[in-house]
Each structure stands twice: as C-alpha cells, then as structure tokens.
Amino acid sequence: MSDARIRVVLADGQRLFRSGLNLIVDSQEDMTVVGQARDGEEALSVIDATRPDIVLMDMWMAPTNGLEAVRRLSVSRAEADGDGAASPRPRVIMLTDLELDRHSLEAIRYGASGFLLKDSSPEFVCEAVRSVYAGNTVLASHDLNALFDAATEVVRPEPPEYATLTERERNVFAAVVRGASNAEIAEELCLSESTIKTHIGAILRKLGLRDRLQVVTYSYENGLGRRLRAAPRAVA
C-alpha cells in the first residue's frame, strides 16, 4: 500500500525553529517530513532529491534566501514544461517574520502559494499545509488587497490573452480578484461550485497561471485589479 501522506520539506536557517516545525509536521497522521535544509541552495538540492508535495520556506535564509530559491524553482519548472516533461515543482509556503511587502509580490510571481508568519500556531501551520496541498492559497484576501494597494499598479493595454476569456469567465475572474470564495462566486452567479471550478481551470489555462493567487497578481500587473474590485458585481 502506498504512503498517501503529504510529503514536506522544511527550509529554515534556524536549527531550533526547523526542529520545532519537524516535530509539528511529523506528528500529523497525514504528513511526513522528507527533508530539511539550512538555506535556499541546500533546499533546491533537497527538493530535487526528495520530490516533496509542499515546502515550508523561510524568506530570508542566508547565504541563499528563500526568494531566490523560489525564483530558481520557477525557472526549472518552465524549462521542464518546455521539454514536455512532468514538472517536479512542489507548492511553496513562505515563512516570514515581517509584514508582506514588494518581496512578497516577487515570491507570488515566482509561484509561492502563500505566506505564514513564523509565530503562527502549530494548528494553523498544519491546516495551511493541507489547504495548499489541496490546491488553495494561504493568504487572506484583505491582506492581499492591502499589499497590492501599497504597490503601483501598472497601466497598460488589456493583454491579448485576457481578451480570450468568455464573459462568464471574466465575471469569475473579477470575483476571484475581489477575494470571493468558490461558494460565494457560485451564489453570486447562480451556478454550481463545480461549474465555478471548471471556469477557474479554464481561466488559469488561458492566462498561463498556476493558482488563484497568481490570478490576483496578474490582474494588478496588467492594470485590471483596482478597476475590477470597484466594478459592480455581475448579475446572472
């Protein structure tokens, strides 16, 4: 019988903190720690060797920090996809002591699936791992909106790939940017949650994005974010 547990790599420069995370994660029946790393460079080697599902990655390890490690993971995934090979890239949750800033935006662009403060409770850490493993992101919508409101939104023409979205897909796109859940979008548009998931899948495919977090990033980078958040909600 195969091991169905979530495979986790821990990357943090502080040995004591890393050991604590190891105890927390390994104590869960549905998780197992398959590797540890002291900095970003070592994390890349451990990830390559163990092929984890999730990486808990400290943003500011030294000498190679977590941001650089996520960037290089993004590059390696693009190269693998270009060769037609299955991507080994895990989902990454960034660990930080600081408030979200422009470096957090970079991590999102490189494919990070969320952020956790290092003083989060053990229960919250474990639920975050499960949520990201299930394909969700870990970042409250109000935190994300505040992060983008503090940044300068790029003003540019509507991107051509965005023009390929259907009217319904644009409605779903706008709701995701506003931070609505699948259930909330389904209620707003009078559709089933499974249909919403199908629309989100089509949006991600057409725009070449990985998850909902990157949808929001894309919207702001292309001058769509604040306009969509301020627009009236669609009526089915």
Structural domains of the chain sorted by starting position, each given as residue range(s) with its CATH number in brackets: 6-139 (3.40.50.2300), 162-230 (1.10.10.10)
Q: Are 145 and 123 in contact (CB under 8 A)?
A: no
Where is 177: in which H helix or E strand? Answer: helix 167-177
Q: What is each CA distance from 196 to 72, 102, 181, in whole angstroms?
A: 32, 31, 10
Residue 128, classified by CB atoms within 10 Å of its CB into exposed (0-12), middle (13-18) or buried (19+), is buried
Q: Are 11 and 94 in contact (CB under 8 A)?
A: no
| Portion of the chain with pLDDT greater than 90, in percent | 50
The pLDDT assigned to 1 comes to 40
Q: What is the pTM of this model?
A: 0.70
| pLDDT over threshold 90, residue 9 | yes
The pLDDT assigned to 224 comes to 77
**3-state secondary structure at position 28:** coil
List, for residues 57-67, the tens digit of each pLDDT value.
999 898 999 99
| pLDDT over threshold 90, residue 48 | yes
The most confident of 57-61, 158-162, 180-184, by mean pLDDT: 57-61
Positive or negative torsion for Cα 155, 161, 163, 165: negative
User: Which of 1-5, 9-13, 101-105, 111-115 is predicted least confidently?
Assistant: 1-5
The pLDDT assigned to 223 comes to 75
List, for residues 188-236, the tens digit of each pLDDT value.
999 999 999 999 999 999 999 888 878 887 887 787 766 665 554 554 4
Question: What mean pLDDT, rounded, does the chain reach?
Answer: 83
User: Which of 15-19, 105-109, 144-148 is predicted least confidently?
Assistant: 144-148
| pLDDT over threshold 80, residue 51 | yes
* Distance between CA atoms of residues 121 and 155, nearest Å: 40
More confident residue, 114 or 230: 114
